[in-house]
Chains A and B, each alone.
Chain A
Amino acid sequence: MTNLHSRRNFLNLVGSAGGSAAVYQMALALGLTPGRALGSPQLVRPLSGASRSVVLLGGGLSSLMSAYELERAGYQCTILEASHRIGGRNLTLRAGDLIDEVGNPRRCRFDDDPALYFNAGAARIPAHHHYLMHYCKELGVALEAFTNVDYNAWLQEDERFGGRPIRFRHFMADAKGFIAELSAKAIDANEFDAALSPEDVERILGFLKRYGDLDVNAIYRGSPRAGFKHPGALAPTPGMIDEGEFVERLDFSEILKSSFWHERLHFHEELDYSAPMMQPVDGMDKIVDGFARHIKSPILTHAQVKSIRLQESGVSVVYQHQGEHLQIQADFCMNCIPKHLLAGIDNNFPNEYRTALAAIHRGGPFKIGIQMGKRFWEDENIYGGISWSSQHIEQIWYPTHNIHGNKGVVLGAYSWGDNADFFTRLNPEQRFEAALHQGQKIHPNYRKYAESFVSIPWYRMNHHLGCTARWTEEASKRYFSYLQAPLAGRHFLMGDQLSHHAGWQEGAFSSAHHALVELQKLVAADLGSTT
């Protein structure tokens, strides 16, 4: 304690002499602050009278975070964004918004109602994504709980259980029950208890009984976890004033043959998908709005970059804006333009850099949002979460917000790989039709309530042409660190594409912070050599 106290006193002295930045740097040196500056007051060391300029290419989250931090530290910043909006794949669509798909530009025809929005890109926030949580707090972006798993939602697989939908809880409880019963039998048969004490065997049996909700004889006879047979609306809720009748147990061999346990069944236990999860109140783009509210530097949209030239003393960027070409000179360039579009821009990057950029492939997930005239899923006791299907749609999400409201926007498909390609190849109306056709297998009246839709094939979205950069293991080994490092001490590639978490906002923030740290090293060395 004495030691800590004395270090704090020392920091106070440093602060009175060198300001808050000095305190922070010193605290870092003393190990009092985590190096990753979780929630630190200022990520970038103030320039304190010196002058440095940064041009930020692309208006994605890594650029917004960088500009926000840099300008607070005294850097001159300008953000150039080619499309009509900033935020990149943080895209929330509401009534009248442009859906800028190459070849299929459309307007969103949802009702003009703040609750009727669709998060077409980023759509959920895990609590451990600490940059994101930090900026939501700092920028005043209100968050609410996001329900990512709903045990009352459905699993539907064409080839299994006659193609009929099964409640998630039903599958889960029965699968665990059967597995637990099998394990208990194995224990009883002395198959693997030689090394275990009798007490341990008892404990394992106890665990298995709890795990699978087995009876006293370690047999699975069904469980309220799987749900009761429902007597219909306005009848007493089963199990309340009677014993309730369990739903029929699923066929164990069908469970084994099902593909749902491959991934879906355990999905919500994965680090990025487990409770608690959050979403910004009124749409994911409230995060973008939060940055835009606080950033004072110019943010230009419809500003398309033509050329990036690294020079001895800085970076020169030529862009087209409002019918003319402009050239911007800056000390540094921070760049979150998708790597596959960067290849189409004039540059003087070394060949190895271009080769590295070309080694990263682009992914192309597909989403469709459907405005439903009635929140029919709530009549099925579903209030959020995901139904899973073996069809091209893969998933149906139900809105967590505006419970018992008038209408709602469901996600009618969130597909990857071949399933995404299936939708991408169709025109928007055909995609809508296919999503309704497939959704009907889960909700028979699905089509009846569907009023309007937005379809987003990320592979075809203008100024994106992809989502979730795909790194092969080899490309990652060869090029990840290389592309992370500043090029010629001037150019910093960033964004979720340069993280091991492509497709997540936290990947973009983490990459931006890495670039900011590298940039500061260069600035510190430079200032040190000139003063």
Chain B
Amino acid sequence: MLINRVKELRARFNLTQGELAERVGVTRQTIVSLEKGSYTPSLLLAMNIAEEFDMPIEEIFSKEDKL
């Protein structure tokens, strides 16, 4: 199971789900599912999100058993 900090970072960057979705090229529903943890993104999407937040990918996404 992959967990992420997308919701937290999105709030920090003052972005709506729709805005983030548009920037990374997916639908808002995908961001909703991602934040809920019910969808595991592809590597490309994860990289796009990391690029958007200007952070290393591993600081945003991590495996649940690591915590």
Same complex: no
Residues of A within 8 A of B (CB): none
